[in-house]
Amino acid sequence: MNKNFYNYADLIIGNIEGGYYSPVRHYSAAMGKSGETMFGMDRIWGGSDINDSASGKKFWSLVDANSASWPYNYKGGSTGNKLKRLAAEMMYNRYKKYSKLYLSAKAQKLVDKSQKLQIHFFYACWNGAGYFKQFASDINTAVAKGEKDLKKLQDVAINSRLRHSVALIRKGGNKMLNIWSKMKDTPDYAKIVFWCVMAAVIIGTGIYFRKEIAGVWRKIISSPKC
């Protein structure tokens, strides 16, 4: 698993998703029909693709072994970091699945170059397949029209959230902006490679023609001064 996604999960859980909730012990009407949840993982409604995965089974076993006295929104204490890593692995499997289903090949290559775009789509795995598909459609459309600039694609991505008809998604968009403000995005490796190649060509040319260059320079410095 790409280690960046552990960091993304930590940012998402720390800034957007909450801690532990049991509808039996902590019932709140504001939580609606939510099942038992931890870090945005829902034991009832989360989906078998994540809950029944190897990481999912370890996640809920760890919750079961430690949660008897957990208060509302508890972040796991000494088990918190391990639960975060397992949650990251659960959602990473979904990320790969949804990316393959909904992102075009060209869009995926561009998303892979931007940590901000990656975390946007990684969090969409918490939002659900329908939202991931909507966000992917916006990026696919922009890329199909020829857009390759990562900053402009980031604008498309964040506007998909900020202008959404669902208030919870708009709220998540503002929180995503806050996360982005703390991130240094992936550099444009294509430009870096280009300038590295150019530098190598210039240096190589200088070495190849060093005798000729030295001869010209000697003529210049030895020529009569006016």
* pLDDT single digits (tens) 16-71: 999 999 988 887 877 788 899 999 999 999 999 999 999 999 999 999 999 999 99
Q: Cα angle vertex 104, ends 155, 1, to 5°? A: 85
- Decide which of 218 and 50 is more confident: 50
- Domain ranges within the chain, ordered by starting residue: 1-102, 104-186, 197-222
pLDDT of residue 188: 47
Query: Is residue 218 predicted with pLDDT exceeding 60?
Result: yes
Query: Is residue 111 predicted with pLDDT exceeding 80?
Result: yes
Tell me how far apart the alpha carbons of residues 120 and 115 are, in angstroms, rounded to a whole number: 8
- Decide which of 2 and 219 is more confident: 2
Average pLDDT across the chain, whole number: 88
pTM of this structure: 0.79
Instruction: Record the tokens describing residue 70, joined without a space.
Output: 């957990």
Contact in structure between 109 and 128 (CB atoms under 8 Å): no
